[in-house]
Amino acid sequence: MTSEGIASDQTEAVLGDYDVIIIGAGPAGLSAGIYASRAGLECVILEKGVPGGQVITSPMIENYPGFAEVPGMKLMETMAEHARRYVDIKEGEEVLRVRAGEKFELGTSSGRYTCKAIILATGSSHRKLGVPGEEGMTGKGVSYCATCDGFFYKGKEVVVVGGGNTALTDALYLVSIGCKVTIIHRRAEFRADQHLQLSVKQHKIPVMMDTVAEEIVEGEEVTGIKLRNISTGVVKTMPVNGVFVAVGEVPSSQLAAELGLEMDPGGFITVDRSFRTSVPFVYAAGDVSGGIRQIVAAVHGGAAAALSCFEDLMNPYYRKI
């Protein structure tokens, strides 16, 4: 065995050869599996952990039409069960490297897979504040998605932490719902677009600049956040019911980079309306492809990617560049 991936690849067992391999078993990957398999494609879903993606961290989902109120974990178990009727989900199977050629070759910790097409549904992760209390209170007052969880905080006192477009949009969203919102930002100026800044002013949303979160008060539910003004050094605890963290979203696009896919400056994969990427026979769906980071968008992306993949594999003129 050499230390070079390519040479060692050749000696590894081929664990499977498929029409299409779907990477990731969140809502996008599961939907892709249902649609690809129903279209008659041989496919498999490779998931580095367990199915469900980020949704499983949500205590309650209220905006996936058809499920008025469902814990994220339960919804994703239901969706995974649905997908398993059609497609095998290999859990704990992380794709470590990918290479394009006559066929695509994927290397995992267990071995090697080959396929004619790939659907990337690798998701993204929320950038964290990294302060005490944050992890323990996630789902109990700490949220990374105003669109998802805002509704639970109607009439309550919340802070939004961040200064970009997402943070200001989230603040406006929460105000619109009827929350009492304060924006906490570590710098003296916002990065967000001018119109969002003006709108925040017009809505008279209180803003604390030069301020960082130091700790989220732990308990049954969030009751407060400890803040430090970095220019004055003053520390105080502000009583709040909710902390919306909006300091960035990190797409899991390492494999996309290996494949040379076009991405936006934030690392989200560029897709067209059919969820094709810039490389033939590679598709992307769900959070890694940007757009609104909602379950509805993920299931659509997965389905559309699978149908595009079917069309391309059937097209005798469509070839790898």
Catalytic residues: 145, 148-149
Shortest distance, position 2 Cβ to its own copies, whole Å: 40
Least distance from its own copies to the Cβ atom of residue 42, Å: 10
Stretch that binds its own copies, among 9-17, 31-39, 240-248, 257-265 (CB under 8 A): 31-39
**Number of residues in contact with its own copies, rule: CB under 8 A?**
59
Residue whose C-alpha is closest to residue 128's, from 108, 143, 118, 140? 143
Angle, helices 194-202 vs 165-177, to 10°: value is: 30
Q: Residue 299 Cβ, how far from its own copies at the closest point, in Å?
A: 5
Residue 304 touching its own copies (CB under 8 A): yes
Neighbouring CB atoms inside 10 A of 107's CB total: 19
Helix axes of 295-314 and 27-38: crossing angle, nearest 10 degrees: 30
CB atoms within 10 A of CB 226: 17
Nearer of residues 39 and 238 to its own copies, judged by Cβ:
39
Does position 236 interact with its own copies (CB under 8 A)? The reply is no
Angstrom distance (rounded) from CA 12 to CA 225: 52
Using alpha carbons, select from 152, 153, 119 the residue that is nearest to residue 259.
Answer: 119
CA distance 276 to 45: 18
Footprint on residues 116-155 left by its own copies (CB under 8 A): 147, 150-151
Q: Which is nearer to its own copies, 132 or 164 (CB)?
A: 164
Interface with its own copies (CB under 8 A): 27, 30-31, 34-35, 38-41, 62-68, 75, 78-79, 81-83, 85, 147, 150-151, 169, 172-173, 175-178, 194-196, 198-199, 202, 273, 291-292, 294, 296-297, 299-304, 307, 310-311, 314-318
